[in-house]
Amino acid sequence: METSILIKDTTREQREQIVAESIGNINGSCDGCAAGLIEMYRDYIDGKKEIRDINMEFNAHYESGMEMPEKSECGYINN
């Protein structure tokens, strides 16, 4: 049986772990860009949005060409 990653079934610490395991090193010691990805999933970690909703929003922006935050050297900046 799979473990649920829904907000209602997880603690904040578990959600941090889920994101960390999915993305990799959240301390950014690799190339410094993991921190920007963590910010993308901040609403999930904080219990505000399900991870699937964040991914769907990201994909919608990507496919539509709508303006999104630009990637900087270490993360994202808002336009």
SS3 per-residue string spanning 28-77: CCCCCCHHHHHHHCHHHHCCCCCHHHHHHHHHHHHHHCCCCCEEECCEEE
State pTM to two decimals: 0.63
Residue 47 in tokens: 């219990």
Taking the C-alpha atoms of residue 9 and residue 75, their distance in angstroms, rounded to an integer, is 29
The residue ranges of every structural domain in the chain are: 7-72
Nearest Cα residue to 34 out of 12, 19, 54, 51: 19
Q: For residue range 46-59, what is the model confidence (pLDDT) as tens digits? A: 999 999 999 898 88
Q: Give the per-residue pLDDT at 22.
A: 85
Q: For residue range 9-54, what is the model confidence (pLDDT) as tens digits? A: 999 999 999 998 888 654 544 555 566 778 889 999 999 999 999 9
Q: Give the per-residue pLDDT at 53.
A: 94
